[in-house]
Amino acid sequence: MANKKDNIVSLIDTFAEFKETKNIDRATLVGVLEESFRSVLAKMFGSDENLDIIVNPDKGDCEIHRNRVVVADDEVTDLNKEISLSEARKIDADYEIGEDVSESIDFMKFGRRAILTLRQTLAGKVLELEHDSLYNKYKDRIGEVVTAEVYQVWKNEVLLQDEEHNDLLLPKSEQIPGDFYRKGETVRAVIHRVENQNNIPKIYLSRTSPVFLQRLLEAEVPEINDGLITIKGIARVPGERAKIAVESYDDRIDPVGACVGVKGRRIHGIVRELRNENIDMVNFTTNQSLYIQRALSPAKVTEIYLDEATRKAEVYLKPEEVSLAIGKSGLNIKLACMLTGYTIDVFRESEEGEEDDIYLYEFSDEIDQWVIDAFNQAGMKTAREVLSHTREELIQMTDLEEDTIDDVLNILNEEFEKE
């Protein structure tokens, strides 16, 4: 008697646990419970086709009826679907061959093992439901900003949880340099991608995506949210610097001024969120030449020549503007290229009476090609363009070792001394 009572309590606990801890609707609850019972009973009887199952989750019970056909005593071939005439008449003396017998089955009689199997089956189906629910919840939300709590910090990623304790992942590659997390902190990031491999959903967040910066701007600048200002392009080097092209269809609205705000109030909050990432706002224009000039700000361009077929631009500036156009470690010109979609080559404007220059590639027998490439990427194609900068500027602009810079300067200076 005690065992039967324990079994009943165990079964009720199974219902209660499922109902109270899993956030699913009643119809799904009943369906999953019935499916779980059928799965367990099918293994016991070999089939569930002839079983009627009525689940009552509120009471924590389940009615099970097995339907069998009455056959002659010596003709029973399937005990699950057939019952002998003598056995049927023990239930009701009026049964005849060919009639259907519906017999109530007490699941509790199958003992603890059956209930344990039921719980395990139920747990597996619940897990599938949770996975489906999580995937469906996030698959259409890519590009949205979420706030989640840091649950665990690992070397290559951070595990966060949303308000419903769903797991979200922030990989190291999607973290801003300088990001540092402690358990319990809240983090804002954009939903970057959602994967569902082997029915195991994984939600990846990002703080380095240009979309994250765009969403922050949309939240901070009402004119963007209202459609009065449009973001036409974003170029980012996360944690360092970003350039954003904006356009307004209303001549009365200055898009750059509106985004920056009075005394920079609107942009300051975003800069803090992005670990002091410098943000340059640029007025968008369909005039590609003007667009490139604006993208190279704060440098002032003297002349520009475009090749729209190859998406290349040659830009000429006064000597004192070259370092501004290139920026620290070539960052300014890199972002300008990303924003405009053009490969931009920066040239120092020749001054009257200036001596003939020599292209760096002509020194390939003395200077390694990778070193020449570093100077080219920093906007210096010729010897005089290199010599127009101080040693410290060259180290900063190319990110080369001091000894390498010294060797290049010696080679170039010797060449001009020969002349």
Running DSSP on this structure, what letter comes out for residue 350?
P
Instruction: Please give the mean pLDDT across all residues of the chain.
Output: 85
Instruction: Provide mean pLDDT across the span 119-141.
Output: 82
pTM as predicted: 0.66
Instruction: State pLDDT tens for residues 169-184.
Output: 999 999 999 899 999 9
Q: Following DSSP, what letter does each residue of 243-290 receive, concatenated?
A: EEEEEESSTT--HHHHHH-GGGHHHHHHHHHTTS-EEEEEE--S-HHH
Instruction: State pLDDT tens for residues 322-348.
Output: 888 988 888 999 999 999 999 999 887
Is the model's pLDDT at 350 over the cut of 80? no
Residue 259 or 131, more confident: 259
Residues 6 or more apart whose CB falls under 8 angstroms from that of 134 comprise 166, 201, 203
Q: What is the pLDDT of residue 9?
A: 41
Instruction: State pLDDT tens for residues 210-243.
Output: 999 999 999 999 999 889 999 999 999 999 999 9
CB 205 within 8 Å of CB 191: yes
Maximum alpha-carbon separation in the chain? 125
Percent of the chain with pLDDT over 90: 42
Of 127-141, 245-259, 272-286, give the lowest mean pLDDT range: 127-141
Question: CATH classification of 2-136, choosing from 1.25.40, 3.30.110, 3.30.190, 3.30.1480?
Answer: 3.30.1480
CB 332 within 8 Å of CB 326: yes
CB 333 within 8 Å of CB 296: yes
CB 292 within 8 Å of CB 344: yes
The C-alpha atoms of residue 283 and residue 259 are separated, in whole angstroms, by 11
Residue 301 or 44, more confident: 301
Q: What is the pLDDT of residue 91?
A: 83
Instruction: State pLDDT tens for residues 360-383.
Output: 877 888 888 899 888 988 888 888
Instruction: Provide mean pLDDT across the span 43-68.
Output: 78
The C-alpha atoms of residue 401 and residue 362 are separated, in whole angstroms, by 22
CA angle 414, 415, 416 (to 5 degrees): 95
The C-alpha atoms of residue 41 and residue 35 are separated, in whole angstroms, by 10
The C-alpha atoms of residue 105 and residue 291 are separated, in whole angstroms, by 79
Query: From the centroid of its chain, how far is CA 24?
Result: 26
Is the model's pLDDT at 105 over the cut of 90? no
The C-alpha atoms of residue 405 and residue 391 are separated, in whole angstroms, by 7
Running DSSP on this structure, what letter comes out for residue 382?
B
Q: What are the tokens at 337?
A: 């290229």
Instruction: Provide mean pLDDT across the span 197-205.
Output: 90
Q: What is the pLDDT of residue 356?
A: 64
Which helix (H) or strand (E) segment is 1 a member of?
Answer: none
Is the model's pLDDT at 16 over the cut of 70? no
Task: Work out the pLDDT band at 20, boundaries 50, 70, 90.
Answer: low
CB 301 within 8 Å of CB 315: yes
- CATH number for the region 209-284 comes to 3.30.300.20
Domain 148-207 in this protein, CATH class: mainly beta
Q: What is the pLDDT of residue 245?
A: 96
Is the model's pLDDT at 6 over the cut of 50? no
Percent of the chain with pLDDT over 70: 90
Q: What is the pLDDT of residue 14?
A: 56
- Give residue 193's identity as a one-letter amino acid code: R
Most confident of 17-21, 128-132, 135-139: 135-139
